[in-house]
Structure 1
């Protein structure tokens, strides 16, 4: 199998469901390998980290899309992505990012711990009631989706009654983030994007009439009064903030619980020592990243990993492969929450490092120990169903049985950190 065939195996349905064997086939050719004309795959941690920080590399923004797909503006999904800070380059990216960065400062995120713990506790109580008597419950529908969507919707000022709408719309839209997409799949993504843009068009109008203490109102003001956002940028960023605000965390929670249930000794360690949650969450992010890849193009020639990348090269930065680079992580296929190593690349690096990474980590650090402590008999209930996606890796369905909840005296502290946690 040559490098092009190894990449083709990654893009197959089987490779999307379980990409790790394909990553190893690609790694055998080196940390940076050419897989086609002008196309390169990066599996090395050091190489991916360096490239993510290299100012010579660019996102696929509107200007670049004009060169390869001039009709991209006809697609609501591609327009929402290309006009948001997710896929723009400086100076537009820097301008948009500054407008929303205040909602994600470490101080603001720390202040949300109690909110996250309260919501997680309520969802666990609902799971326990629904699973009484041994009935299976779908962890994705009952916990992994509603917790992060509730948190990001609170930041954006989205009414609680509207939150159930977003799971399908977002799932449809994110199909446009895949490295390969068929016309039929793009049509589905466009439908999801249209629903989301229509929703936020109405929310913007409502916040224009009656502003609130939320991020949507702040961005509306940035458009109306300060003109630091165009109308298209306003809608595109609201859509992406919502989708990115829960999709990654939903997948982190689902992937994380599945790994913990498959490693009962490690799960018991987190149950007894919730103060170790930050290390556990970093290892869960490394072991089965909710974001598996990102892309860049080279604005000028770049040499990396002994390979010359000509100007205009396209790069697949395989974050899931980089997180299992044996040069960085000994025995990378072993789940080991006691690794004393720096964080993985699951949230990227450099200028496009995920703005909500701290919030996603907080939600997982609070939720996973609380689940294990309050539901000590939590167990798999049949085969879960993976989404056939590569970029955003997660479950459609993760059935569990909850067993008997722990007595109230055994529950963790109200803030979700457990006794004695600093």
Structure 2
């Protein structure tokens, strides 16, 4: 059998790994996955979750190799959504809108379709475009903090991180403020699309939210077709690459993707980052004294507790990763959170070090599927954290009883209460 080797980290599996069992859905794992990641990486770095099940890859070099490989494809979630239709008693309430929309989500697409769509969409998310948004993002952060200033306390998730994310996406698309609360509710429903275990009822709720958000967006697109503005929807309508343009369905899918994936991931990045700094007050004080350190600090915060913990790929050829043979068609779960704590790549990986350099983490994936919104997420996180610390210099964690959202893919707090 021909096998394509993806990595040179071919260490022999320890005997103890045969008996190693863990539960990805255990609340203890959910609260702190990193000790388990370390054990998997040490004992069985390319691990079969159960007999005939998915492969879990935990080492940085292996994760990076798979992300760059041309011998894998993305998860076929859109196909699995479409197949759920056969279980619906009411065939008129199908999942077709959700299935098509997710098939146009860039992180579920493969070349050549992915190459075409990314070329048409990518210019709207360039670092130059994002930098032009910096004053607008700063204004939103200031407005949100002004609302809680008189209280002496706040929930960073509910009062800053989450509304900032939806406000920035709305600003990017040219959506008015009065519609943002409804968009936030739709985004909350759609964020479950990234999780591996989703019930039929949840898929139906996501399909309904997709239909409703796209009904709203169609009106906005029609307005921009008549009168273009300086916003992403206008840019997507005008986008052209070698005489190719986006269809309305594709524009709707791109806009839906921003709310489905962009709001919670960026919100979690801000929340996770602030928690890490609150737990490392000496490093927080350094940033307060030298605000220009915020860029390197945010890179470390993103590495230290990544908002996206896992990605799935499917082998298109027989592969050899480490000392394991993975057959074509088998699923590979890439543990980004584990890779970002790999001591072979990051010295003292469990230590927060805002001066860490180099810091080539994989929190935003890599290669052709590198996160389109990475530059925007970085700027939002930098401005949110820096402004919060400068305006409320005495901020402190108000509770040690913190609860994490139930997800093995997305890592984020339900609430992060502070006093100031």
TM-score clears 0.5: yes
Match of 2:410 among 381, 392, 398: 392
Quick one: distance in 1 between partners of 2:201 and 2:26? 17
Distance verdict in 2 for CA 1:386–1:66, change over 3 Å: closer
Quick one: distance in 2 between partners of 1:159 and 1:3? 56
Specify the alignment match of 1:272 in structure 2: 289
- Paired residue secondary structure (1:33): strand
Bigger mean CA deviation after superposition, 160-169 or 202-211: 202-211
- Paired residue secondary structure (1:58): strand
- Paired residue secondary structure (1:295): strand
Bigger mean CA deviation after superposition, 15-24 or 385-394: 15-24
Match of 1:325 among 342, 357, 379: 342
Is the 8 Å Cα contact of residues 77 and 176 (structure 1) preserved in structure 2? Answer: no
Bigger mean CA deviation after superposition, 358-367 or 198-207: 198-207
Quick one: distance in 2 between partners of 1:118 and 1:214? 17
Deviations 1:129-185 (A, max 9, x none): 2x2xx4x32221211122222222111111122112222321221212112223343
- 2:125 counterpart of 1:104: yes
Q: CA deviation at 1:390?
A: 2.1
Specify the alignment match of 2:44 in structure 1: 30
Specify the alignment match of 1:47 in structure 2: 62
Q: CA deviation at 1:3?
A: 7.0
- Paired residue secondary structure (2:43): coil
Specify the alignment match of 1:358 in structure 2: 375
Is the 8 Å Cα contact of residues 56 and 299 (structure 1) preserved in structure 2? Answer: yes
Specify the alignment match of 1:95 in structure 2: 116
Bigger mean CA deviation after superposition, 238-247 or 154-163: 238-247
Q: CA deviation at 1:280?
A: 0.8
Q: CA deviation at 1:264?
A: 0.7
Q: CA deviation at 1:290?
A: 0.7
Specify the alignment match of 2:212 in structure 1: 195
Quick one: distance in 2 between partners of 1:363 and 1:41? 31
| Aligned residues between the structures | 396
Quick one: distance in 2 between partners of 1:309 and 1:68? 26
- Paired residue secondary structure (2:346): coil
- Paired residue secondary structure (1:338): coil
Give the gaps of 5 or more residues in structure 2. Answer: 1-15, 88-93
Counting only pairs closer than 5 Å after superposition, residues 146-225 of structure 1 correspond to structure 2 as 146-221=163-238
Deviations 1:73-104 (A, max 9, x none): 72544443222222111111111111221122
Specify the alignment match of 1:315 in structure 2: 332
Specify the alignment match of 1:259 in structure 2: 276
Q: CA deviation at 1:387?
A: 1.3
Specify the alignment match of 2:5 in structure 1: none
Quick one: distance in 2 between partners of 1:62 and 1:244? 14
Give the gaps of 5 or more residues in structure 1. Answer: 403-422
Q: CA deviation at 1:55?
A: 1.4
Is the 8 Å Cα contact of residues 17 and 390 (structure 1) preserved in structure 2? Answer: no
